[in-house]
Amino acid sequence: MKTQVAIIGGGPAGLLLSQLLDLHGIESVVLERRSRDYVLSRIRAGVLEQGTVDLLRAAEVGARMDRQGEIHDGVEISWHDERLNIDIKDLTGRGVMVYGQTEVTQDLYTARDARGGTVLHEAEVTGIEGIEGDGVTVHFTHEGEAKTLTADFVAGCDGFHGPSRKAIPESHRQEFERAYPFGWLGLLSETPPAAPELIYAAHDRGFALCSMRSPTLSRYYVQVSLSEKLEDWPAERFWDELRTRIPADVAETLVTGEPLEMSIAPLRSFVSEPMRHGRLFLAGDSAHIVPPTGAKGLNLAASDVYYLHRAFDRFYNHGTSEGLDAYSETALSRVWKCERFSWWMTSMLHDFPETGAFERRMQRAEFEYLQMSETARKSFAENYVGLPY
Ligand code: APR
Ligand code: PHB
């Protein structure tokens, strides 16, 4: 097989890139190691920045999002029973779109099918050759057979555990990491959301989040220690813990139900530099991870893909490699700012088991500063709705 851009990974980053390249007349093949059903069963965050929304519309995959997604003009932060509403629309002129990542991925698959895009499933990449040369060969297994795909370039959209990042020689790669000593236990239920807006709740027992997917589908999280096991969390225990951590008036009216899904995810901040080596370009989780506080993961994948598809467009359609040469620096500049915001929000709202009294007072001071200062709220809102591309 032969194409212009070989894309490893059929998550949101890889699919969106292939769709945008196609719209610019650039060929690609997506190799995805899992089945489509498996990819679509992964439940991830559900808040889209304006820039992501605009990019999905430009990629001609925004119609269902525009019909079914909900625009939110505000977000709440609570501290025990104190509630702080941050009117992000008033502060920035923009809102965010509540629409699940699973739905975004579904819409991307539908669009790739409609345009006859090649997305191979159960196609596991086993090796990448030639990234320092004048063409690349991607080795993969598909339907039990070893196969190859040759291409001008390779886009590594294969998530944190994929092979692309590791194809950059260690001597040319630097990794930065902060692992947090806790995870999020999430629960999805067919119940109306606890409140009209998302509530990020800080509490002495740990962080909690009330989120949603639609007027009838809610998503909740509670911070848990890394040693917690899913089997020790029957739904009733989850609901009790959530009620304890969120403001009492919200807890009183909370509608609970049977979980559709429950899972535990560890929290991590991670960046690998550079995001380009020769003919290999990384995008999304393959290059960076953020903790979910602030829901930046998918949005960062989208901004990478924005820069990368424009760089390929300039290369193939305008004969200049300037965009490709600037890609790593351009993308990383935005990545680090989003890393900072996700790390800051995580630090302010979670219970850190090792933390002493001084740090706890600092967390409280951050909250009080947001309460008293419109400037602080504006800075929060500017980051929450998404920094410009
Ligand atoms: N060969 C082929 N595909 C692979 C391989 C491989 N060797 N290794 C990993 N993959 C696939 C995974 O199966 C996965 O479907 O790459 C895909 C990467 O997708 P995501 O992990 O969703 O990453 P990304 O597309 O960058 O999305 C970024 O979406 O998944 C969330 O948490 C993530 O919110 C973040 C955003
Ligand atoms: C979610 O709805 O899953 C969600 C929302 C906001 C976050 C993280 C997760 O910050």
Residue 334's pLDDT is what?
A: 98
Residue 314's pLDDT is what?
A: 98
Determine the distance from the C-alpha atom of residue 7 to the mean position of all C-alpha atoms in its chain, rounded to a whole number: 18
Compute the distance from residue 1 Cα to the ligand 2 centre, in Å.
Answer: 39
State the amino acid at position 221 in one-letter form: Y
Our answer on whether the CB atom of 20 is closer than 6 Å to any ligand 2 atom is no
Rounded Cα distance between 160 and 284, Å, is 9
Active site includes 221? no
Instruction: Considering every ligand atom shown, identify the ligand nearest to the alpha carbon of residue 128 and give its number.
Output: 1
Residue 358's pLDDT is what?
A: 96
Residue 384's pLDDT is what?
A: 98
Active site includes 307? no
Q: How many CB atoms lie within 10 A of CB 201?
A: 25
Rounded Cα distance between 244 and 242, Å, is 5
Nearest to 211 by CA among 34, 75, 20, 364: 75
Mutation probe of ligand 2 site: the residue of 42, 99, 198 with most atoms within 8 A of C-beta: 198
Nearest to 338 by CA among 276, 375, 287: 287
Residue-level length of the chain = 389
What letters, b where the CB count within 10 A reaches 16 and e where it falls short, cover 213-249? bbeebbbbbbbbeeeeeeeebeeeebbebbbbbbbee
Residue 327's pLDDT is what?
A: 98
The one catalytic residue in 72, 203, 277, 309 is 72
Residue 143's pLDDT is what?
A: 87
Active site includes 384? yes
Residue 130's pLDDT is what?
A: 97
Compute the distance from residue 294 Cα to the ligand 2 centre, in Å.
Answer: 7
Residue 110's pLDDT is what?
A: 98
Our answer on whether the CB atom of 30 is closer than 6 Å to any ligand 1 atom is no
Residue ranges of the chain whose pLDDT lies below 70: none
Rounded Cα distance between 29 and 22, Å, is 10
Rounded Cα distance between 344 and 328, Å, is 24
Question: From the alpha carbon of 296, which atom of ligand 2 is closest?
Answer: 10
- Which amino acid residue places its CA nearest to atom 32 of ligand 1? 297
Residue 27's pLDDT is what?
A: 98
Between 12-23 and 101-114, two packed helices, what is the crossing angle to 10 degrees?
40
The one catalytic residue in 220, 292, 306, 309 is 292
Instruction: Considering every ligand atom shown, identify the ligand nearest to the alpha carbon of residue 212 and give its number.
Output: 2
Active site includes 72? yes
Report whether 284 contacts 305 (CB < 8 A): yes
Mutation probe of ligand 1 site: the residue of 33, 48, 280 with most atoms within 8 A of C-beta: 33
